Structure 1
Amino acid sequence: MERAVILVGTETGTAEDVADDLLEAITGAGMEAEILDMEEARSDAFDGSRAVVICTATTGDGELPENSIDLFEVLEDEKPDLSGVVFGVCALGDDHYEDFCQAGKDWSALLQELGAKEIIDRFEIDGFPEDEDIDGAKEWVGQAAGKFTGLVREG
């Protein structure tokens, strides 16, 4: 069975709520999946044995949520080879700010720089997620699950 981990970067819990909906959709698409707070994650979450879905809010002026900074910095510093990793990013932001969804863009850029393959375009949610945003995110992660199939090595 294909496996995935949803890594959540959040300040207020909104990204965590979205991640719960993503989990429901990705398991409904036939993948085994779990949610992991980025504060509790280590770089081995990117070992290639499961697809990675980043679900992150953007805070302040385009900054990473506090709970995700350590993991991001570890990856920046250690520069592990992530060439066997496939991922997708669901980014939350507010388009009233110049750096709309910047945390999601930063995760995309870092993971690609380390060799990971972003197999689906980033899904962006503007403002507090409405029902249509959640429906779109579920459809997006369902499409991602289809693309993950066969790309995740057996763990």
Structure 2
Amino acid sequence: MANILLLYISTTGNTEMMAEAIAGYLEYKEHDVEIRTFDFDPIDVDELSDYDAVFIGTHSSDDGEVPFEAEDFYDELDDADLGTTTFAVFGSGDTAYDEFCLSVDLMGDKLKFLGAKLAPVRFKVDLTPSNEDIEQLEQFAEAAIQIAANENKDS
């Protein structure tokens, strides 16, 4: 059983639907899941290493930048001890914009640059997640948890 943080920001509800699907799957698999939102339950980056896995969800709007509510977290990652925590990034966007889900890539790129252990896929959805997207989100969550479990076994 893993100790998991699910941290996200959602404006239209699409990324929230994704976060709920991930949380539901992980809870079904009997993992401890703490859900926080960037706008109401921000987390101190020093707490990230307390978790086996951290799922970070963000939406992208027209310019694709990291949403305002997540900017401080994004900047503070530079000073974080990421330890052996596994990170997985996901989010929603709109392919009508020039940069599709750029905020997901920015978050993933920053974590990679800082040497974080990352799930190999950055899960992106165009607008509202479909039933197929939800099934794939469950696979995405399972893959991240397997990476975390293998790290804990090796430690």
| Same-fold status (TM-score > 0.5) | yes
Aligned-pair identity (%): 27
User: Contact 1:11/1:65 (CA < 8 Å) preserved in 2?
Assistant: no
Structure-2 change in CA distance of 1:127 and 1:14 (3 Å): closer
Q: 1:48 to 1:152 in 2, by over 3 A?
A: farther
Aligned in 2, Cα 1:115/1:101: closer, same or farther, shift over 3 Å? same
Provide the secondary structure at the position in 2 that maps to 1:151.
helix
Corresponding position of 1:44: 46
Shift of residue 152, structure 1, vs aligned partner: 4.6
Match of 2:151, SS state, is coil
User: Structure 2 vs 1, CA of residues 92 and 152 (structure 1 numbering), >3 Å: closer, same or farther?
Assistant: farther
TM-score (norm 1): 0.85
Could you say if the C-alpha distance between residues 152 and 107 of structure 1 is closer, same or farther in structure 2, counting changes exceeding 3 Å?
farther
Instruction: After superposing the two structures, state which structure 1 stretch, 34-43 or 102-111, moved more.
Output: 34-43
Q: CA deviation at 1:128?
A: 1.8
**Distance in structure 2 (CA, Å) of the matches to 1:9 and 1:139:** 21
Cα distance in 1 for residues equivalent to 2:108 and 2:125: 15
C-alpha deviation, 1:96, in angstroms: 1.9
1:131 maps to 131
In structure 1, the partner of 2:94 is 94
- Other-structure match for 1:113: 113
Q: Indicate whether 1:63 and 2:65 are aligned.
A: yes
Structure 2 vs 1, CA of residues 13 and 44 (structure 1 numbering), >3 Å: closer, same or farther? farther
Q: What's the C-alpha RMSD, in Å, of the aligned pairs?
A: 2.0
Provide closer, same or farther for how the CA distance between residues 5 and 152 of structure 1 changes in structure 2, counting only shifts above 3 A.
farther
Q: Which runs of 5+ in 1 are unaligned?
A: none
